[in-house]
Amino acid sequence: MAKDIYEQSAEAKRLLDQANKILGFDLTGTMFNGTADELKQTRVTQPAIFLHSVVLALSQEAFRPDMVAGHSLGEFSALVANRCLSFEDALTLVYKRALAMQKACEANPSTMAAILGLDDHVVEEICASIDEIVVPANYNCPGQLVISGTIKGVEIACEKMKAAGAKRALPLQVGGAFHSPLMEPAREELAIAIEATSFHAPTCPVYQNVNASPSTDIGSIKENLIAQLTAPVRWTQSVLRMTQDGARTYLECGPGKVLQGLVKKISPEVEVGSVAN
């Protein structure tokens, strides 16, 4: 993971080496040579994806976005891309976030599931009808909504979703119920870390997960970044708003092409691509 960038770009090499020093362990060693199980640990996964994304953006001198957004963890990468957070501060926050989320997952075993082929309002109504904690967590694109909650709550919801006509209700291999009330202990820890971190005037608006609205106000950005841990990721709504506000080309920074696929399903008229290695 990211080894090709490391070998091709002096700036990427500098940033990745610096990351190991900031974190105090050899993250790049795991990224380059680790097993799938090692990479799936929340404390590794989150800083690794953040690093891959940010290094792609920062090692490109011509990369000057007019607006930015990130899906969940990606919001931290977006805030580095628009210079609201420094690389060092964002990486430190991402690692603290990962540790806090992992701790919350261990305290309350929980899970998530992808619901395919149902309207958002149907998923919302079914979640609201269940006594267990189960909520919409990721509005990924029309017809694809991820739910999050207790193991029992998600199991009940999946059965009800299929009975309501969902094409599929797929349990996800995740550490716990991200973007649900079960992440409240992690939200409290992250809030302390964010309040102690320096944020700077961004070079362009960030469209945040919590409200799918553009912001350049530092106070609002911090508040939304904290709220994100227990609130749903409104990716569908964010992309629609960005397109409405003039976005015509979306560039994904990071491993894979998942967001490009989601953007095309949300706004078929726009162009999508990747930031080149």
- Decide if 71 is catalytic: no
d(CA 121, CA 42): 31
Catalytic one among 9, 53, 72, 215?
A: 72
- Decide if 72 is catalytic: yes
Catalytic one among 9, 110, 179, 180?
A: 179
Side by side, the strands of the sheet bearing 110-116 are 134-141, 144-150, 110-116, 168-171
3-state secondary structure of 232: coil
> Taking phi first (over 0 means left), then psi (-120 to 50 degrees means alpha), and beta for anything else, what does residue 61 get?
alpha
Beta strands of 10-118 (E only): which ranges?
Answer: 68-69, 110-116
Contact 172, 220 (CB under 8 A): no
Return the percent helix, strand and coil in the chain, to nearest 5. 50, 15, 35
Give Cβ neighbours of residue 261 (< 8 Å, ≥ 6 apart): none
Catalytic residues: 72, 179
